Amino acid sequence: MPEEMTQKAIPRENITQSDFPEPEDYFRVFEGKPAISPRNKTEKYTHFNQFPGYQVLQKRKVEAQQNNISVPFFLTSESINNDRININDSEYINFSGYNYLGLSGYKYVSDAAKAAIDKYGTSVSASRIVSGQIPLHLELERVISNFLGVDDCIVFVSGYCTNVTTIGHLFGRKDLVIHDNLAHNSIQTGCQLTKAQRLIFPHNNWDKLEELLDIHREEYQRVLIILEGAYSMDGNIPDIRRAIDIKRRYNALLMIDEAHSLGVIGETGGGVGEYFSIDRKNVDIWMGSLSKTFASCGGFIAGNQALIEYMKFSTPGFIFSVGLSPPDAAAALAAFEIIQREPERVKRLHKNTLLFLELAKQHGLDTGLNSGTPIVPIVIGNAISCMQLSQRLFDLGIHVQPIIYPAVMQNDARLRFFITSMHTEDQIRYTVSMLAQELAKLEKR
């Protein structure tokens, strides 16, 4: 077995802050102070093809070519991203999209979006605070707050922007923000944007979180702890009850990003609130994305009345950005309606996830930290092997995306399978058996 295949992923519990890429490191090489005066005429500082990051990118493309890998990114699909997908006139079983309940492409949802276009056009053409608000915005915010059981909600045009602008805006120089080291890039970027001090604790390591709070709590005014409801690269669920207990004892605030958990976990898709049977009011800031289960585009923050009122009048990513487009608002609204009207979708999603995980276990596949969510990583370790495996599966009619650095750490590459309620038992059985077969072949080389 080649050495590259034996490189095992570092156990997530042992990851330290320095092992994980900072967003600013992506494809950048720091060169320190310019060696020559920037006023000198040099292409180095004026041509994008001279940017060190661009050159790293070219090197990676050559590496892929040398390993006979066609770059598996930016594949263009010509169909709905569902249990199947059409790419280059061929149909594939698809595990590369997070249309968890099959609501994007569902006629009821599409019809709602079309009706909204007929009534309001394709854009609201202004920020909501200055004439861009339509009734659909308010209705969607009401439906989301009711779904969660909190006072109020504010919707944004992007899930990513929701985290960046919310965290970036609410906290300042005298505050502390502290997040799990597997937090999504949007959380990390929001933390970098604030003038608050930032700390990172090892994944799900509550003792370490408490230790950091013991040492630092007293130095700051507000302290925000940020977690995800289901981690987007690993598919595991943190112990929210423990987090609530900690935030109470240290007089801190708790924010939970439910991008991959709302509509997904909990018996009826009620997210971590339902999964842990907790009163949602115990968490200060709920964040969600509309682009996953909710068949749309955008994000939201939900919480108490004061938080939402303050944010509506002051958050830069809200007041200086256009309101959610009419079809996006209508699609998300319809999706929330269907989740409640057709609970069998969530049940099917759970059944499919269980089947995939059971089969993976039978074949001895490494599903990493997955704790029963429909985000199933198959941890490979080496990035080239991971891309090769993805390509072999593609040749067998299965589309699954390789996840490599910087989305995860070096040597922690994995195939990430998103299971949906639309997958059939046959699709899942075929996929897991091909996956085991091709991985074994790759390891034997």
Among 141, 152, 257, 412, which residue sits at the site for ligand PLP (rule: CB under 6 A)? 257
Site for ligand PLP in 402-441 (CB under 6 A): none
Nearer to ligand PLP among residue 163 and residue 236 (C-beta): 163
How many Cβ atoms sit within 10 Å of the Cβ of residue 23?
13
The binder of ligand PLP chosen from 238, 266, 299, 377 (CB under 6 A):
299
| Dist. CA 295–CA 335, nearest whole Å | 7
Among residues 104, 204, 236, 291, which is the contact residue for ligand PLP, using CB under 6 A? 291
User: Which range touches ligand PLP (CB under 6 A), out of 28-36, 252-260, 324-332, 381-389?
Assistant: 252-260
Interface segment toward ligand PLP; rule CB under 6 A; list 149-157, 171-179, 257-265, 338-346? 257-265
Pick the stretch among 5-13, 87-95, 157-165, 171-179 that binds ligand PLP (CB under 6 A): 157-165
260 touches ligand PLP by CB under 6 A: yes
382 near ligand PLP (CB under 6 A): no
373 interacts with ligand PLP by CB under 6 A: no
Contacting ligand PLP within 172-201 (CB under 6 A):
184, 186
Query: Given strand 398-399, what is the order of strands in its sheet?
Result: 84-87, 90-94, 398-399
Report the site for ligand PLP in 270-289 (rule: CB under 6 A): 289
Cβ-based neighbour number of residue 46 at 10 Å? 9
Greatest Cα pair distance in the chain: 67
Does residue 159 interact with ligand PLP by CB under 6 A? yes
Q: What is the DSSP letter of 422?
A: T
Q: Does residue 163 belong to the site contacting ligand PLP (CB under 6 A)?
A: yes
Quick check: 296 and 101 in contact, CB under 8 A? no
Instruction: Report d(CA 51, CA 12) in Å as an integer.
Output: 33
234 binds ligand PLP (CB under 6 A): no
Is there binding between residue 401 and ligand PLP (CB under 6 A)?
no
User: Between residues 160 and 356, which has the closer beta carbon with respect to ligand PLP?
Assistant: 160
Q: Which of 228, 234, 274, 412 binds ligand PLP (CB under 6 A)?
A: 228
Please identify, using beta-carbon distances, which residue of 188 and 427 lies nearer to ligand PLP.
188
136-151 burial: b if 16+ Cβ within 10 Å, else e? bbeebbebbbebbebb
The residue among 420 and 427 lying less far from ligand PLP, judged by its C-beta, is: 420
Give me the least distance between CB of 328 and ligand PLP, in Å please.
11
**CB-based closest residue to ligand PLP:** 159
Near ligand PLP in 26-45, by CB under 6 A: none
Full DSSP string of 342-380: -THHHHHHHHHHHHHHHHHHHTT---TT--SSSEEEEEE
- Taking the CA atoms of residue 55, residue 57, residue 61 and residue 63 in that order, the dihedral angle to the nearest 10 degrees is 80
For ligand PLP, the closer CB: 334 or 439: 334
Structure tokens at 30: 């720091």
Please, are residues 201 and 209 in contact by the beta-carbon 8 Å criterion? yes
Stretch that binds ligand PLP, among 2-10, 81-89, 99-107, 253-261 (CB under 6 A): 253-261
Residue in 124, 148, 147, 152 with CA at minimum distance from that of residue 136:
124
Q: Which two tokens stand for residue 441?
A: 């072949």
Could you tell me which residues come within 8 angstroms of residue 191 by beta carbon, excluding any fewer than 6 positions away?
167, 177, 179, 198, 226
- Give bridge partners of residue 92 from the DSSP assignment: 85
State the minimum distance, in angstroms, from the CB of residue 228 to ligand PLP.
5
Closest CA to 354 of 444, 265, 251: 265
- Closest-CA residue to 373 (of 179, 160, 205, 229): 229
Q: Which of 113, 124, 255, 259 binds ligand PLP (CB under 6 A)?
A: 259
Q: Binding segment for ligand PLP among 3-11, 12-20, 256-264, 360-368 (CB under 6 A)?
A: 256-264
The footprint of ligand PLP (CB under 6 A) covers 158-160, 163, 184, 186, 228, 232, 257, 259-260, 289, 291, 299
